[in-house]
């Protein structure tokens, strides 16, 4: 071992899947005590490379060196022995176990052959504290929000004492506060000599956190940026090979009649609050608020997933009873859910059949026949429009990269041509180039008269895309802002409940 050798080196690694060349002669260097950001468009090969480092899958060719010495990483345990831990892009925890049991899964402390729960939970409490999570380790994991589950994953990696911690889009479902906590954890780890490979599509985060940036494009190295060179435009240029300037180019178009009117709606999660608002044809309405403000619950209740406790929903002035997603679809609604893995995508089905699913819903009451030609057409259109990276329409969805899976879900619902499109965090995990495509699409759909109601935690996106913004705080609507009243401050005021609620 030499002191001058980098902590970790990836040399000319290649990896192919049937029909896909995921990595081609990739190089990557990680030094001690540094945060290296790894960025690239959806499908660039980031997760594939990280899974190789973590022993989840082997490379076809190429070499990995730790402290200058070649190492064989064939299994997850090999990786852990080399001090490499991966926090997956898709959460990898067991819902039915407690928080503590998840952290020590497979390496539970034992006493007389039995799991020493007491010690396990005591140790768990220590690592949970390090990520700023104040939960009892005996809590079932399923009771935690996605954001908090993410922090449990990080606690788990810390408990392994990793030298290399890989985080694959760790903040995509965290609140602003949880994100700050995470950043503190990452900076603290770096100070203690741990190196972090950090994957994110949020370039602001990369700028704040990274010591260096490595950019991938189509499975190849696209360039590196030193600390002083890290800026938004430089990163975008390397990622997509062009400049993206006019990000939120909203056109002015007339807003039509009221399509959706909600009067005094109460959701099961916030039974004490009454929600009232309207969405017009051709209008894009953003829903802002902190994580846990009740935005997802509102969409779920509108779409008939959660039960409406009281209140009225009117479409085109007519009261409607929506008690299931099928009924919602029949009334011209579509929902792109937040948790796409669970509610949006059938991972074992092809891209084609996922897109076709929505059509199947649409035809459910009229015979339920699958229209093959329509499905082919819709699939081809969505692959093109959303720039879905797949070897073809028959690829099984689980083999697509995270961001491309999300595009399939969006495509599936757009294929329905709904009158009211509900989107929950539509660009989460989506790369900059594809984000631009989704914004353009929202714009185009609104222009054609569709009403769009979208929940987003990215303030910039809410402000850039909305004709009007509804702000929620702890289950209530605390205010509405028209496009010309929008400012970051005004939204945050309402989102933190600092203003009196007119509509509660």
Ligand X SMILES: Nc1ncnc2c1ncn2[C@@H]1O[C@H](COP(=O)(O)OP(=O)(O)OP(=O)(O)O)[C@@H](O)[C@H]1O
Residues that bind ligand X (CB under 6 A): 17, 20, 22, 40, 42-48, 89, 389, 399-404, 431
To ligand X, the closest distance from the beta carbon of 45 in angstroms equals: 4
To ligand X, the closest distance from the beta carbon of 320 in angstroms equals: 37
| Residue given tokens 């076809």 in the structure block | 60
Which C-beta is closer to ligand X: that of 220 or that of 327?
220
Q: Write the burial class of residue 296 (CB in 10 Å: 0-12 exposed, 13-18 middle, 19+ buried).
A: buried
Q: Let me know: does 15 contact 24? Beta carbons within 8 Å.
A: no
The tokens describing 235, both together, are 């990163």
- Number of amino acids touching Mg ion (CB under 5 A): 4
> Which one of Mg ion, ligand X, none interacts with residue 404, CB within 5 to 8 A by kind?
ligand X
**Residue 191: enclosing H or E segment and its boundaries?**
helix 176-191
CA 504 – CA 494 distance, rounded (Å)? 13
The tokens describing 483, both together, are 């496009």
To ligand X, the closest distance from the beta carbon of 92 in angstroms equals: 15
The tokens describing 7, both together, are 């902590």
To Mg ion, the closest distance from the beta carbon of 48 in angstroms equals: 8
The tokens describing 227, both together, are 């600390």
To Mg ion, the closest distance from the beta carbon of 199 in angstroms equals: 7
Interacting residue with Mg ion among 59, 294, 402, 479 (CB under 5 A): 402
Which C-beta is closer to ligand X: that of 88 or that of 308?
88
| Residue given tokens 């026949």 in the structure block | 369
Q: Let me know: does 414 contact 441? Beta carbons within 8 Å.
A: yes
Which C-beta is closer to Mg ion: that of 47 or that of 457?
47
| Segment lying near Mg ion (by CB under 5 A), choices 46-54, 128-136, 368-376, 484-492 | 46-54
Torsion of CA 364, 365, 366, 367, to 10 degrees: 60
To ligand X, the closest distance from the beta carbon of 168 in angstroms equals: 7
**Nearest residue to the partner Mg ion, using Cβ:** 47
The tokens describing 46, both together, are 């980031």
CA 485 – CA 471 distance, rounded (Å)? 13
477 in helix, strand or coil? strand
> Which one of ligand X, Mg ion, none interacts with residue 400, CB within 5 to 8 A by kind?
ligand X
Which residues are CB-contacts of 381 (< 8 A; sequence separation ≥ 6)? 415
| Residue 48 binds Mg ion, judged by CB under 5 A | no
To ligand X, the closest distance from the beta carbon of 23 in angstroms equals: 8
CA 334 – CA 453 distance, rounded (Å)? 10
> Which one of Mg ion, ligand X, none interacts with residue 389, CB within 5 to 8 A by kind?
ligand X
| Residue 405 binds Mg ion, judged by CB under 5 A | no
| Segment lying near Mg ion (by CB under 5 A), choices 81-89, 135-143, 182-190, 418-426 | 81-89
> Which one of ligand X, Mg ion, none interacts with residue 439, CB within 5 to 8 A by kind?
none
To ligand X, the closest distance from the beta carbon of 351 in angstroms equals: 10
Q: Let me know: does 345 contact 355? Beta carbons within 8 Å.
A: no
Nearest to 341 by CA among 397, 265, 258: 397
To Mg ion, the closest distance from the beta carbon of 397 in angstroms equals: 14
The tokens describing 14, both together, are 């290649």
Which C-beta is closer to ligand X: that of 101 or that of 239?
239
Which C-beta is closer to ligand X: that of 279 or that of 438?
438
CA 314 – CA 322 distance, rounded (Å)? 10
What are φ and ψ of residue 6, in 5° steps? -60, 160
84 forms beta bridges with 164
Which C-beta is closer to Mg ion: that of 139 or that of 221?
221
CA 479 – CA 477 distance, rounded (Å)? 6
Interacting residue with Mg ion among 13, 20, 47, 293 (CB under 5 A): 47
CA 45 – CA 163 distance, rounded (Å)? 23
To ligand X, the closest distance from the beta carbon of 59 in angstroms equals: 13
CA 251, chain centre distance (Å): 27
To ligand X, the closest distance from the beta carbon of 19 in angstroms equals: 7
Which C-beta is closer to Mg ion: that of 191 or that of 342?
342
| Segment lying near Mg ion (by CB under 5 A), choices 89-97, 228-236, 274-282, 352-360 | 89-97
> Which one of Mg ion, ligand X, none interacts with residue 171, CB within 5 to 8 A by kind?
none
> Which one of Mg ion, ligand X, none interacts with residue 20, CB within 5 to 8 A by kind?
ligand X
Question: What residue ranges bind Mg ion (CB under 5 A)?
Answer: 47, 89, 401-402
């Amino acid at each position: 071992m030499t002191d001058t050798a980098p902590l970790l080196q990836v040399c000319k690694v290649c990896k192919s899947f049937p029909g896909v060349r995921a990595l081609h002669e990739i190089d990557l260097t990680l030094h001690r005590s540094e945060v290296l950001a790894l960025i690239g468009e959806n499908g660039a090969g980031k997760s594939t490379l990280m899974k190789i480092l973590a022993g989840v899958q082997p490379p076809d060719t190429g070499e990995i060196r730790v402290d200058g010495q070649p190492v064989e990483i064939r299994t997850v345990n090999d990786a852990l022995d080399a001090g490499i831990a991966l926090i997956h892009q898709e959460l990898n925890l067991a819902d039915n176990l407690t928080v503590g049991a998840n952290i020590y899964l497979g390496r539970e402390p034992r006493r007389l052959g039995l799991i020493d729960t007491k010690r396990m939970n005591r140790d768990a409490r220590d690592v949970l504290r390090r990520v700023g999570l104040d939960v009892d380790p005996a809590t079932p994991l399923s009771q935690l929000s996605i954001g908090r589950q993410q922090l449990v994953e990080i606690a788990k990696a810390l408990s392994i004492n990793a030298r290399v911690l890989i985080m694959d889009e760790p903040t995509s479902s965290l609140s602003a506060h949880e994100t700050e906590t995470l950043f503190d954890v990452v900076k603290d780890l770096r100070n203690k000599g741990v190196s972090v490979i950090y994957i994110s599509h949020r370039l602001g985060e990369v700028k704040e956190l990274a010591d260096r940036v490595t950019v991938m494009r189509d499975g190849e190295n696209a360039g590196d940026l030193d600390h002083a060179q890290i800026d938004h435009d430089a990163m975008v240029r390397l990622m997509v090979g062009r400049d993206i300037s006019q990000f939120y180019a909203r056109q002015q178009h007339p807003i039509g009649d009221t399509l959706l009117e909600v009067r005094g709606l109460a959701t099961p999660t916030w039974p004490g609050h009454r929600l009232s608002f309207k969405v017009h044809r051709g209008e894009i309405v953003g829903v802002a608020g902190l994580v846990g403000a009740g935005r997802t619950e509102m969409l779920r209740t509108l779409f008939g997933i959660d039960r409406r406790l009281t209140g009225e929903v009117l479409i085109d002035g007519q009261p409607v009873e929506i008690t299931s997603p099928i009924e919602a679809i029949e009334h011209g609604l579509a929902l792109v859910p937040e948790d796409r893995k669970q509610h949006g995508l059938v991972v074992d089905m092809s891209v084609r059949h996922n897109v076709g699913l929505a059509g199947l819903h649409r035809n459910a009451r009229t015979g339920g026949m699958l229209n093959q030609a329509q499905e082919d057409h819709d699939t081809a259109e969505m692959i093109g429009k959303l720039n879905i990276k797949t070897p073809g329409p028959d690829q099984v969805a689980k083999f697509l990269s995270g961001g491309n899976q999300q595009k399939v879900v969006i495509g599936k619902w757009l294929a329905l041509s709904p009158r009211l499109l509900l989107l929950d965090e539509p660009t989460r995990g989506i790369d900059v180039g594809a984000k631009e495509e989704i914004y353009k699409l929202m714009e185009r759909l609104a222009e054609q008269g569709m009403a769009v109601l979208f929940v987003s935690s990215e303030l910039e996106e809410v402000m850039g895309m909305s004709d009007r913004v509804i702000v929620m705080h702890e289950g209530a609507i605390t205010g509405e802002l028209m496009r010309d009243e929008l400012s970051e401050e005004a939204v945050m005021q309402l989102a933190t409940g600092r203003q009196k609620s007119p509509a509660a």
